[in-house]
């Protein structure tokens, strides 16, 4: 299984808006965008934050679009894109709405915080109230505007909830530097995140060894 998302249009890949991610990134930093798609986020980061960027994507058509925008891009699967990087070679490693498609997400996150000072990860919160209702009352796998796939054709092989992810971070000794919760296009209310967020974005870093 690859984490390809061939069926997705670029605009569908965008969940947390680019603005939110751009806000998180410091001026002039080095950014690696995993699953960079058509490269639009990198282009905007270069323009608005003067970053130096590189993208990784699996799909030929996306690579072509990145190249025509003058970006540096690597075609390959995401783990492969990180394996050969020395520790700390980027300021930020971004994984935008792709975590749930990854074969070994825990390993990838550890690689991200190894290669980058910060990892920026966002993913759909499976515990959102709409999903809970569909599963609990409808008795079926949730299919809605946030996760628009049937179980048999979904590229999403590793859904998790916000709470699950926070637990994983603690297991992996990762510090959550920041989190942004979204309800669709808006910042979620500051309570009941695991019920109300459709999407969560975390900024992570390695906890310094004691």
Partner 1 sequence: MSSESSPVAESLGIVQEHTYTFGPPSEPIILENGRAFGPIDVRYETYGSLNAECTNAILILHAFTGDAHAAGFHTPESKHAGWWNDMIGPGKPFDTNKYFVICSNVLGGCRGTTGPASLDPHTGTPYALSFPVITIRDMVNVQKRLIDHLGIARLLAVAGGSMGGMQALEWSVAYPEMVASSIVLASTARLTAQGIAFNAVGRNAIMSDPHFQSGNYYSYQLPAQGLSIARMVGHITYLSDESMGMKFGRKLQERAAYGFDFADQFQVESYLEYQGDKFVDRFDANSYIYLSKAMDYYDLGERYGGLERAAARIAGKVLVISFTSDWLYPPYQAKEIVFALMKAEKDVSYTELNSPYGHDSFLLETKRQGRLISSFLGSVYEYD
Question: What mask, x for binding partner 1 by CB under 8 A, covers residues 18 to 57?
Answer: ----------------------------------x-x---
Chain residues 78-107 in contact with partner 1, contact rule CB under 8 A = 84-86, 89
List of residues 6+ apart from 141 with CB closer than 8 A: 134, 135, 150, 151
- How far apart are CB 18 and partner 1 at their closest, in Å? 18
List of residues 6+ apart from 207 with CB closer than 8 A: 173, 174, 175
Strand, coil or helix: what is 89?
coil
Nearer to partner 1, 54 or 97 (CB): 54
Nearer to partner 1, 32 or 99 (CB): 32
Strand partners, 202: 121, 179
Q: What is the DSSP string of 127-170?
A: T-HHHHHHHHTT-S---SSSS---TTT-S----B-HHHHHHHHH
Nearer to partner 1, 23 or 80 (CB): 80
- How far apart are CB 58 and partner 1 at their closest, in Å? 10
CA dihedral 103→65→185→30, nearest 10 degrees, is 70
- How far apart are CB 121 and partner 1 at their closest, in Å? 21
List of residues 6+ apart from 62 with CB closer than 8 A: 36, 37, 38, 39, 73
| Joined tokens for residue 18 | 């680019």
Nearer to partner 1, 43 or 169 (CB): 43
Question: What mask, x for binding partner 1 by CB under 8 A, covers residues 54 to 83?
Answer: x-----xx-xxxxxxxxxxxxxx-------
Nearer to partner 1, 76 or 155 (CB): 76
| Spatial distance between the Cα atoms of 199 and 195, rounded to a whole number of angstroms | 11
- How far apart are CB 52 and partner 1 at their closest, in Å? 8
Nearer to partner 1, 43 or 147 (CB): 43
Question: What mask, x for binding partner 1 by CB under 8 A, covers residues 165 to 204?
Answer: ----------------------------------------
Query: For residue 32, what are the CA distances in angstroms to 53, 155, 188?
Result: 6, 22, 27
Counting every residue, how long is the chain? 210
- How far apart are CB 67 and partner 1 at their closest, in Å? 5
Binding residues for partner 1, rule CB under 8 A, total: 22
* Contacting residues toward partner 1, per CB under 8 A: 52, 54, 60-61, 63-76, 84-86, 89
């Amino acid at each position: 299984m690859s984490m390809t998302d061939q069926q997705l249009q670029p605009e569908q890949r965008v969940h947390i808006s680019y603005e939110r991610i751009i806000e998180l990134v410091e001026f002039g930093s080095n950014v690696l965008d995993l699953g960079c798609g058509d490269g639009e986020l990198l282009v905007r980061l270069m323009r608005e934050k003067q970053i130096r960027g590189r993208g990784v994507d699996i799909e030929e058509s996306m690579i072509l679009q990145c190249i025509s925008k003058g970006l540096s891009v690597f075609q390959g699967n995401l783990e492969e894109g990180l394996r050969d990087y020395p520790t700390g070679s980027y300021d930020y490693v971004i994984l935008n709405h792709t975590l749930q498609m990854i074969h070994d997400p825990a390993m990838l996150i550890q690689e991200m915080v190894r290669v980058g000072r910060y990892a920026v990860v966002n993913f759909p919160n499976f515990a959102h109230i709409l999903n809970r209702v569909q599963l609990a009352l409808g008795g079926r796998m949730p299919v809605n505007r946030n996760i628009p796939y049937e179980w048999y054709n979904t590229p999403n092989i590793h859904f998790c909830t916000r709470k699950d992810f926070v637990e994983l971070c603690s297991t992996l000794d990762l510090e959550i530097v920041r989190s942004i919760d979204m309800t669709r296009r808006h910042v979620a209310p500051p309570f009941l995140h695991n019920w109300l967020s459709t999407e969560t974005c975390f900024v992570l870093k390695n906890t310094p060894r004691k």
